[in-house]
Structure 1
């Protein structure tokens, strides 16, 4: 094993957090801002790059550059047990949903996921970028041309919104998914973008113009509530004008009020 072997326990249902148990000198890495609590004896350190083992300065610089491309911070946080007994550190999701524990050794050492889905992992897991093979996937994929890839043989924790379903696709089996609902997939899944057919469906269907086509064999994880969808609904319901009046309350009159301000 190249990665540290960590034990864990999930708590909660719709707003989960994961408690990681560290033996002496074991380390877990986490995204910035994911920490919920930790016991005395654990040393927290911010490191440059993705904190995977080896690489020297240039390796760390490359790791940091990869994280910057995916829209993440240049730095990542490590938590090391420097005590004599078992210690615990907990990480929480940034919004309501589920935490998905993944043993990368069971998925041929690689998982491809949304660029903001990574939460925490055992030290040694490499966090990189995955370029999609087809330009259409990049331009219209909803999650962008670049996705994250998690590589190694240890535990990794991915978070997503709402309820999560795991689908095991057989050879040649195809699943069409709203681009924002795709959380993660194994490396052997063929991923492409397909345009919604029909002008009326595209304009008035209430969905996006494109959806993802996932072709097996492989495993995919789907979320019922992407954060972008939740955020758009919250924004639409938030008062936008002075005097405790939202844009929607005034109807067309409220629309004119916008331009009069």
Structure 2
């Protein structure tokens, strides 16, 4: 399967969303819950896996891929958005957490990107979304990075979140006064304000 070459535009600053432009019959895949808005004549389809050629190896291959996603706490399914109209259409995705959305062209980084498992937001259809196991258990347990990472393979554009939930939660937790956090002047809400770059007066 050839990867779809998709145009896009980023909007916003620390609460960004990405607007993807789809030519007729172009498709973008995304994690469940990331859709912000879309034009008419875009068909939404729930797919088992990511729809890439690497996950089309029969029922057993799909089940193995699904099992890996379950281990990481991810959904078994993704959503594919396809332009079924005659002109260009737009679909937008937003990160559920504050932070930047970072576009990456996999063809420029040897065709593979490893990231936090909840950092993946969306990708051009044809990109394979899998997982990678942290072989050093001590690093996984005590280094704070976890045992599993997401792997994105193939040529094509992917969009990842710069502050996935695991990192946001750990920063809020560290700022809590019960944990000895000094940020936020004694409140978790204040700590979150500082974490996100607020300027206290």
What range is the shorter-chain TM-score in? 0.7 to 0.9
Q: Secondary structure in 1 aligned to 2:100?
A: strand
Q: How far is 1:235 from its partner?
A: 6.9
Q: Distance in 2 between matches of 1:132 and 1:146?
A: 6
User: Runs in 1 of length 4+ with deviation above 3 angstroms?
Assistant: 233-237
Unpaired segments ≥5 residues, structure 2: 179-185, 189-201
The structure that is helix-richer by fraction is 2
Give the whole-Å Cα distance in 1 for the aligned partners of 2:38 and 2:187: 44
**2 CA distance for matches of 1:103 and 1:44?**
24
**Structure 1: where are the runs of 5+ without partners?**
163-179, 181-225, 238-245, 249-261
Larger Cα-atom Rg? 1
TM-score, length basis structure 2: 0.81
1:191-235 alpha-carbon deviations (Å, 9 max, x no partner): xxxxxxxxxxxxxxxxxxxxxxxxxxxxxxxxxxx3123442687
Q: Which residue of 2 aligns with 1:257?
A: none
Task: Name the count of aligned residue pairs.
Answer: 178
Q: Matches of 1:27 and 1:236 in 2, distance apart?
A: 46
* Aligned pairs for 1:145-164 within 5 A: 145-161=147-163
Flag the structure with more relative contact order, 1 or 2, with Cα contacts below 8 A and sequence separation at least 6.
2
**Contact 1:27–1:122 (Cα < 8 Å) also in 2:** yes
Shift of 1:60: 2.2
Structure 1 residues 118 and 247: CA distance shift in structure 2, 3 A: closer
TM-score normalised by L of structure 1: 0.63
Tell me how large the CA RMSD over aligned residues is: 2.4
The answer to whether residue 168 in structure 2 is matched with residue 227 in structure 1 is yes
